[in-house]
Structure 1
Amino acid sequence: MSKTSEPRVVAELGRPETPEETAERKAEDSRKYRMRKTLSNLVYSLLVTLGLVLVIVMIVPRNDTPRHRDVDYTALAQNAQSDHEQRLAAPSLPEGWRSNYAEIRTSTADGVSSWQIGFLTPSDEYIGLAQGLDANPSWVAQQLANTAADTTVTIDGVTWTVYDNRDSTDDVGNAEYGMVADGGGSTFVLVGTAPDDEFAELASSLTPTITEASER
């Protein structure tokens, strides 16, 4: 006569499990197993994704070009010159100066055409050159965010009117500092965020254009 095995006593209960408790325990064990499996799969997928990203970073060619495009404003000035009587400025500047735009613009407010060049300076600041062709006072004021002149400075014999708005609480945009000079039917406006010495360097580079225009 065979012995009937006694039900296993569960330590936590101090007695054998009921069929319902056995079913619940197995269901809970199954749930925990699925959770561990899901977590393992998630970690594996993450590692695979990171590996793919690393491979892509390694095989994609690096772009070592400057983040600012360098525009050949001299060539653009030559191309546009035939349409204008005044000599368009193309200042000669040392290494470290770059241009990110150069174009003829016409103001919709007063119809003044201007030759505009954007410069990125050696200190990574900005100076915009606007050469107004037969400009009027309202165009000049617009370029300088309608700010008031402070003083004048003479550079290479050319008198520049200075607009220093660095301490202004008004929103002047890029016109934190400005310089204006006239010559030969053109008004030259410099505005930007660069220090005084870089403004002076750009102003000096415009001397040949301004004096030549004034002598015509």
Structure 2
Amino acid sequence: MSTPAPRSSYANGSVANMVRSLLVIGALVAVLVAVVPRVNNVSQPPVDVSGASAEVARDSGWAIERPEGLPDGWKATSVRYVRSTDGLMTWHAGYQSPTGNYVAIEQTKDATSGWVEAQTNRAAKTGTTEAGGRTWDTYVRNGKVQNSLVNKGAVGQLTTIVTGTGTFPELTAFADSLRPVPKG
């Protein structure tokens, strides 16, 4: 009969052995963190609101609007034309203001009250204001910071909402910059 090999001192489960193991694992994790590339959220490809809006205006036949001549510091962050609440196709263009707030335009034809509620985050109507030659209803959602300007279109017309975390002066400046998109 053969005698078993002597037991290794590393198999004793001592605190010193556990610390050595953790140091080895920590070094491996540090190497992985250093080697794996991370996405940089600061750089984002440019958003072509002009091109997208021209395509939507041409394809939909709607007289959609987009901001033009915004002061320096405004940056386009998103653009889309998608089916939204109540199945309504919605034109959207989102921007970051110079102060870092988010402001977007939402437009649809024959808006329902459900669509307006969804776009304003079920905010309460608080009054009216003038911007861009139109009268807008103002909405404020206190629990979640969201302010909105709503210009309800008649039957067969577009309803325009300027909404986001922006202040009312930012929303008004944005609404002042809205211009019709040429269809051709």
Give the alignment's TM-score, normalised by structure 2.
0.69
1:144-165 Cα deviation digits (max 9, x unpaired): 3455432222224232221234
- Cα 1:193–1:68 shift into 2, 3 Å: farther
Q: Residue 134 of structure 2 corresponds to which residue in structure 1?
A: 158
- Flag the structure with higher strand content: 2
Structure 2 Cα separation of the partners of residues 150 and 37 of structure 1:
69
Higher relative contact order (CA 8 A, sep 6+): 2
Q: Is 139-148 or 151-160 further displaced after alignment?
A: 139-148
Structure 1 regions of 5+ residues with no counterpart?
1-32
Structure 1 Cα separation of the partners of residues 129 and 57 of structure 2:
29
1:168-215 Cα deviation digits (max 9, x unpaired): x6xxx66x3210125793211122222222212221221x229x99xx
Structure 2 Cα separation of the partners of residues 145 and 64 of structure 1:
30
Q: Residue 88 of structure 2 corresponds to which residue in structure 1?
A: 112
- 1:51 maps to 2:34: no
Structure 2 regions of 5+ residues with no counterpart?
1-8
Q: Percent identity?
A: 27
Structure 2 Cα separation of the partners of residues 158 and 178 of structure 1:
14
Q: After the TM superposition, which residues 32-181 of structure 1 pair with which residues of structure 2 at under 5 Å, given as runs?
A: 38-66=14-42, 71-92=47-68, 93=70, 94-99=72-77, 101-107=78-84, 109=86, 111-166=87-142, 176-181=146-151
Structure 2 Cα separation of the partners of residues 59 and 34 of structure 1:
30
Question: Which residue, out of 165, 168, 178, partners 1:196?
Answer: 168
Give the alignment's TM-score, normalised by structure 1.
0.61
Structure 1 Cα separation of the partners of residues 124 and 35 of structure 2:
55
Deviation at 1:63, TM superposition (A): 3.4
Structure 1 Cα separation of the partners of residues 15 and 125 of structure 2:
69
- Cα 1:57–1:140 shift into 2, 3 Å: closer
Question: Which residue, out of 167, 180, 184, partners 1:209?
Answer: 180
Opposite residue 177 of structure 2, the aligned amino acid is S
Q: Is 62-71 or 130-139 further displaced after alignment?
A: 62-71
Structure 2 Cα separation of the partners of residues 54 and 84 of structure 1:
53
SS of 1:50's equivalent in the other structure is helix
